[in-house]
Amino acid sequence: MLVSANTQTLRTPLPKKPGEDPTAEAAAGLQGAMLQTLQNNVQAQTAQATQVKDSATQLATQQVSEATRISDNVDEAFAKTRVGLQAVSEKLPADVQTATDAFKEYMSKTPEQRLRDSILEEMGLTEEEVKAMPPEKQQAVAKEIAERMEDKIKLAQTEKENTDSEKGSSEVVDKFLASL
């Protein structure tokens, strides 16, 4: 039996010495340049992000400072107003009505009494002044008040009729438009 001496053996390529493979060197150079560019870009973006963060922090700090200053001004103004009102209320005589008392008194009056008071106010008189007048002048004032009340009632009725007729005419117009 004959054995052949031509057997193929696997060969592993021997590593080349640096400088022997120009393709490998070019690829390594490009890879190094790309890595350096990438590192530079990351550093630039990190620096830019830090600047934006610092700017945002500074802006937020300014806004908080401004809001605090405004709040302090409002609190100060409120305190001054409160002290001023307390000082004024301490100086008022005891017989002066509060706004609530005046409102309650006004609402307790009938509409006719309110109308009479408003007419007296238009005339520049108070109820006390009318009571202090002699009877003839009281009657003249009462007659004037009655005339003005009648005029105001007629005016109110006329306005009511006008609004009712406007409603009626608008209903007619609406029906007319709906029929088209």
What does the alpha-carbon distance between residue 72 and residue 74 come to, in Å, rounded to a whole number?
5
Give me the average pLDDT of each 10-residue run along the chain (180 residues).
Answer: 53 58 72 82 86 86 88 89 78 67 85 85 87 89 88 84 70 61
Q: What is the pTM of this model?
A: 0.37
Sorted by where each begins, the domain ranges of the chain are: 30-94, 109-179
Angle at 164 between CA 158 and CA 169, to 5 degrees: 125
CA-to-CA separations, 1 to 4, 7, in angstroms, rounded: 10, 16
Residue 153: phi and psi, rounded to 5, are -65, -45
Residue pair 102/109 in contact (Cβ under 8 Å)? The answer is no
Residue 32, pLDDT score: 77
